[in-house]
C-alpha cells in the first residue's frame, strides 16, 4: 500500500502533466492592465459661519489614465447633498450653477476646482466647517475608481464660493 505522502506526490505530478480538455495550447495569463486613476491634490474646504447651510470645497484633479475621464459626482457624510458647481459670468452677473454632466479630465492635464470657478458644493451641511478640522469626501469618476480624501478646512477666502 502506498503511503499518503507518495500518493499526494503522484497526484501532484499527474495534475501537472495534464493537458487542457480542449486540446488548445496553454497560454500565459495576460499582463495586468493598470486601472485608470485620478490623483487629487491641494484639497481643502472653506470654513463656514455658524448658521451656514452650504460650504465649498476645492482641489486639483489630475487624470493619470490614458483616456479622458470625468468627475461625475461627490459625496460626504457632512452634507445631505454634494454637487459639482461652477461660477460663470452671464449677462454681466456672476452666477453659480450645478454642472450636471460633471467635469472632463483630459489625460495628464490638471483641472483646478478653485474659488471663482469649478468647485464642490456641500448642501445642507450637518454642522459648520471649522478651521483645522477635515471633511471626508468621496469623488466618483466615469472610469477611475472612486477616491476618498479628507479635505482640510481653512479660513474662507473673501468672495469665494
What does pTM read for this prediction? 0.75
Residue 88: pLDDT band by 50, 70, 90 thresholds?
confident
Alpha-carbon dihedral 121, 156, 79, 93, rounded to 10 degrees: -30
- In CATH terms, the superfamily for domain 38-154 is PCu(A)C copper chaperone (2.60.40.1890)
Nearest Cα neighbor of 55 from 139, 153, 147 is 153
Q: Where are the domains of the chain?
A: 38-154
Q: Are 43 and 134 in contact (CB under 8 A)?
A: no
* Residue scoring higher pLDDT (48 or 6): 48
Q: Please state, in angstroms and as integers, the Cα–Cα distance from residue 143 to each residue in 58, 67, 105, following that order.
A: 21, 9, 11
pLDDT, tens digit (0-9, with 9 covering 90-100), for 23-75: 444 444 444 445 569 999 999 999 999 889 999 999 999 999 999 999 999 99
Amino acid at each position: 500500500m502506498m503511503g499518503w505522502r507518495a500518493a499526494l506526490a503522484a497526484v501532484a505530478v499527474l495534475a501537472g502533466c495534464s493537458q487542457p480538455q480542449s486540446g488548445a495550447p496553454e497560454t500565459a495569463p495576460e499582463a495586468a492592465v493598470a486601472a485608470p486613476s485620478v490623483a487629487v491634490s491641494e484639497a481643502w474646504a472653506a470654513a463656514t459661519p455658524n448658521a451656514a447651510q452650504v460650504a465649498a470645497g476645492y482641489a486639483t484633479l489630475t487624470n493619470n489614465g490614458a483616456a479622458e475621464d470625468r468627475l461625475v459626482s461627490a459625496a460626504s457624510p457632512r452634507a445631505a447633498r454634494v454637487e459639482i458647481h461652477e461660477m460663470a459670468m452671464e449677462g454681466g452677473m456672476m452666477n453659480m450653477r450645478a454642472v450636471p454632466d460633471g467635469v472632463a479630465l483630459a489625460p495628464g492635464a490638471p483641472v483646478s476646482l478653485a474659488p471663482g470657478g469649478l468647485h464642490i458644493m456641500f448642501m445642507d451641511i450637518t454642522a459648520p466647517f471649522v478651521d483645522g478640522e477635515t471633511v471626508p469626501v468621496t469623488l466618483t469618476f466615469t472610469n477611475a475608481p472612486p477616491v476618498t480624501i479628507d479635505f482640510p478646512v481653512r479660513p474662507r477666502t473673501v468672495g469665494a464660493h
